[in-house]
């Protein structure tokens, strides 16, 4: 990492140059659904879907209620992963939901949460302890599932955290997100912190956003298919701009490879960032900027991200997510 003097110099340069730093949360990264208009009637809930669901290549079947059971969610492909510890497969009532519900049995996760497969065991444990101790929150107070995760972390024992860390750490992170530069994107709706493509072929300008959508909206939202990945639409030119920041600092920051490895696949206790969710990465960088994440590792990162604008965060994420994990 650069010296303290070097970091101060960078920050001074940024402010002197009048660079606009990220102040408000980048709304596209948090995917918070807009509030219902005042006076609007509540939506009528759909009748429960009790039909049995199937996925190609799977020998098991589940109803929607079973698929989303917080204390025993669907495991479509048991042969794709090692034997799950009980806390991963079933959680612990009343507050510890099964890890496999949100992060999937293979640890791939979705844009609204974290991909935890392949994380260093010590890093995983540290993050869980940071949540338990109040050192890791979200800078966007409406990010409800962060608070859910904090409750889960507080309800787990040290042995359960270690078991989950070792389980997910035993699996490598493999390609999961296809990054596409574009000027327009399919129109989407927000559901559960994800952008889901609407039916039809209508498109809208992407602008300065990254929009991550499931390859198969129903397969992801309804069936929670752990073999169905995502597409990340990024602005044209953002990958090249991000490369300059990530590999050389661009006069604003420190090269990411110094800590995350030259290939961005991690270095010792430092996690890999290649090929992972750009939305998730931007949220974490912003949270560090705003002081919502604390601790020794985060303090180092905060000095690195202090001088970055929202566009810089976007470009960095576009590049890192495009790299082969």
CA distance 217 to 204: 18
**Structure-token pair, residue 228:** 């169905």
Question: How far are the Cα atoms of 31, 188, 233 from residue 205, in angstroms, in the given order?
Answer: 17, 12, 11
**Tens digits of residue pLDDT in 166-185:** 999 999 999 999 999 999 99
CA distance 98 to 183: 39
Query: Among 261, 257, 246, which Cα is nearest to 313's?
Result: 246
**Tens digits of residue pLDDT in 213-233:** 999 999 999 999 999 999 999
CB atoms < 10 A from the CB of 177, how many? 21
pLDDT exceeds 60 at position 294: yes
The overall average pLDDT reported for the chain is: 92
pLDDT of residue 20: 39
- CATH class, domain 60-169, is mainly alpha
pLDDT of residue 14: 35
DSSP state of 186: E
- Phi/psi of residue 234, nearest 5 degrees: -125, 155
pLDDT exceeds 50 at position 135: yes
CB atoms < 10 A from the CB of 244, how many? 15
When mean pLDDT is compared across 18-27, 49-58, 236-245, the lowest value belongs to 18-27
**Tens digits of residue pLDDT in 5-26:** 333 333 333 333 333 355 689 9
Query: Among 320, 312, 310, which Cα is nearest to 22's?
Result: 310
pLDDT of residue 12: 35
Find the radius of gyration of the CA atoms of the chain. Answer: 20
Query: Among 311, 275, 303, which Cα is nearest to 179's?
Result: 275
pLDDT of residue 218: 96
CA distance 294 to 301: 10
**Structure-token pair, residue 104:** 């999937």
Angle at CA of residue 320, ends 259 and 7, nearest 5° = 45
pLDDT of residue 42: 82
pLDDT of residue 10: 34
Q: Which residues lie closer than 8 Å to 290 by C-beta, 6 or more apart?
A: 139
**Tens digits of residue pLDDT in 81-111:** 999 999 999 999 999 999 999 999 999 999 9
The position carrying tokens 């807009």 is: 34
pLDDT of residue 22: 53
For CA atoms 116, 277, 109, 304, the dihedral sign is positive
Per DSSP, the three-state class of 103 is helix
Q: Are 98 and 89 in contact (CB under 8 A)?
A: yes
- Phi/psi of residue 249, nearest 5 degrees: 90, -25
What is the reported pTM?
0.91
pLDDT of residue 46: 83
What percent of the chain lies above the pLDDT cut of 70?
A: 93
For CA atoms 241, 242, 248, 249, the dihedral sign is positive
The position carrying tokens 């604390």 is: 294
**If you average pLDDT over residues 254-258, what whole number do you get?**
96
Q: Are 98 and 152 in contact (CB under 8 A)?
A: no
Per DSSP, the three-state class of 293 is strand
SS3 content of the chain, % helix, strand, coil (to 5): 40, 10, 50
């Amino acid at each position: 990492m650069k010296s303290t003097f070097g970091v101060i110099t960078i920050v001074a340069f940024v402010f002197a140059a009048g660079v606009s730093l990220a102040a408000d949360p980048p709304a596209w990264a948090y995917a918070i659904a807009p509030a219902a208009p005042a006076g609007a009637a509540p939506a009528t809930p759909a009748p429960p879907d009790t039909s049995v669901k199937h996925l190609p290549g799977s020998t098991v079947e589940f109803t929607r209620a079973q698929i989303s059971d917080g204390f025993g969610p669907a495991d479509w492909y048991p042969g794709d992963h090692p034997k799950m510890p009980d806390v991963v497969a079933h959680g612990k009532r009343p507050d510890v939901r099964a890890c496999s519900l949100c992060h999937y049995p293979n640890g791939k996760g979705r844009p609204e949460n974290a991909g935890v497969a392949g994380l260093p065991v010590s890093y995983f444990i540290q993050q869980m302890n940071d949540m338990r101790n109040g050192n890791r929150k979200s800078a966007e107070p409406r990010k409800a599932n962060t608070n859910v995760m904090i409750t889960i972390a507080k309800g787990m024992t040290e042995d359960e955290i270690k078991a989950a860390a070792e389980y997910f750490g035993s699996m490598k992170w493999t390609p999961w997100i296809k990054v596409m530069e574009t000027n327009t994107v399919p129109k989407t709706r927000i559901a559960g912190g994800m952008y889901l493509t609407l039916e039809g072929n209508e498109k809208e300008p992407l602008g300065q956003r990254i929009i991550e959508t499931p390859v198969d909206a129903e397969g992801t939202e309804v069936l929670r298919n752990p073999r169905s990945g995502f597409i990340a639409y990024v602005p044209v030119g953002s990958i090249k701009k991000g490369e300059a920041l990530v590999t050389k600092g661009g006069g604003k920051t420190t090269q990411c490879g110094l800590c995350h490895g030259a290939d961005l696949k991690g270095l010792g206790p430092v996690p890999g960032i290649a090929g992972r969710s750009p939305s998730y990465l931007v949220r974490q960088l912003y949270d560090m900027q705003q002081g919502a994440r604390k601790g020794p590792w985060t303090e180092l990162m905060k000095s690195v991200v202090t001088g970055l604008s929202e566009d810089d965060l976007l470009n960095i994420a576009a590049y890192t997510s495009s790299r082969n994990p």
